[in-house]
Chains A and B, each alone.
Chain A
């Protein structure tokens, strides 16, 4: 057993490199609705690598655009500021963590699961009365704590995977058992360190314990989306397993199975294309 203390994790989080400035600006804009859209678009456009990746996602079948967009400005005009902002946040996190150095960590499966939960959260957002774009971003980033653990505590986290494989346990249970802390808590700490929007921080921190979040928290939607993505087997991981669906979270989404079933096809439509756009 290699227990990690909260303080150890927080100390390590403080040493993380800061986010690209365009991503930080976008984050700040969540708290400041008066921000000039044009200023922000220019800022994103100046980070050429980021802009190129955002445009790739914008032109993927995820948005189903008839005509391709060629600039961030066009993307903002066609898709709306909120959609572009969510994309910047999601795409900007890619490549910040070196999770592949952790033995047993399935980098590809992690990404596919994130995309699956993002698409599920977006599709199910109307049930929760949440904004679809924000829900997508929250879903995509909900397991960011796993990336923190895999890249900063690789050796300890590898023990979690060994434990998990041996007992066919849920990852979150293996983490609590081996490390004494789980990826949701670690993700919540990262979200605080990087000043994520409160709604996304909430989803990251509470998706495994949604009943403890507030009734209107995105944690409820992301929990249901997480369970859904696993039930659909989207990660492609052969050891995938579905956790119990939290009754409180489900009731907070309205508890309508018929409405839920009607939204399932949307989740799988465009899944592979979105995965590709996100990896590129």
Chain B
């Protein structure tokens, strides 16, 4: 999954993706959000003495955390739907809400 991380400019690597636009002191946009860093753009940031920027980094999913999240979601929905019955529509609703909640990562 993707996470946002604020990283000192000297630790930036080419290929990282800028999470929010980087501006200089005058408010001029140096890098727009979503831009992919290159050696050249990192050099540019260093020359303008930018200290740190926020980038998107890919971190591997923690299977244990995902499982805990799934358990919590199931428990919460189990309680909410405790008297909802077994009708086809209500079961479909349960599945839709379950899928939606599971996609909201911990």
Contacts and interface: CB of A to CB of B under 8 A. Distances in A.
Given A244-B90, A245-B87, A247-B87, A261 B96 contact: yes
B64 interface: no
A231 B101 CA distance: 11
Given A245-B93, A250-B89, A231 B80 contact: yes
A244 B82 CA distance: 10
Contacts of B76: 233
A230 B84 CA distance: 11
A241 B96 contact: no
B93 A227 contact: yes
A244 B100 contact: no
Given A243-B83, A261-B100, 14 more contacts: A168-B82, A230-B80, A231-B80, A232-B97, A240-B80, A241-B82, A241-B84, A242-B93, A244-B87, A244-B90, A245-B92, A247-B89, A260-B96, A261-B96
A247 B91 CA distance: 11
Interface residues of A, number: 22
B81 A245 contact: no
Interface in A209-254: 227-228, 230-233, 240-247, 250
A153 interface: no
Contact of A231 (B82, B97, B99): B97
Contacts of A232: 97
Contacts of B100: 261, 264-265
A279 to B, nearest CB: 24
Given A245-B93, A257-B96, A231 B81 contact: yes
Interface in A186-225: none
Q: Pick the most buried of B89, B92, B97, B99: most chain A CB atoms within 10 A of its CB.
A: B89
A30 interface: no
Contacts of A97: none
Interface in A141-188: 168, 170
A240 B79 CA distance: 8
B interface secondary structure, majority: helix
Contacts of B88: 247
A243 B97 CA distance: 14
B85 interface: yes
A242 B89 contact: no
A243 B84 contact: yes
11 contacts: A170-B83, A228-B93, A231-B81, A231-B93, A241-B79, A241-B82, A242-B80, A242-B93, A243-B84, A245-B89, A265-B100
Contacts of B99: 261
Contacts of B97: 231-232, 264
Interface in B60-99: 76-77, 79-85, 87-90, 92-94, 96-97, 99
Nearest to B82: A241
B92 to A, nearest CB: 6
B85 to A, nearest CB: 5
A229 B57 CA distance: 34
B90 A241 contact: no
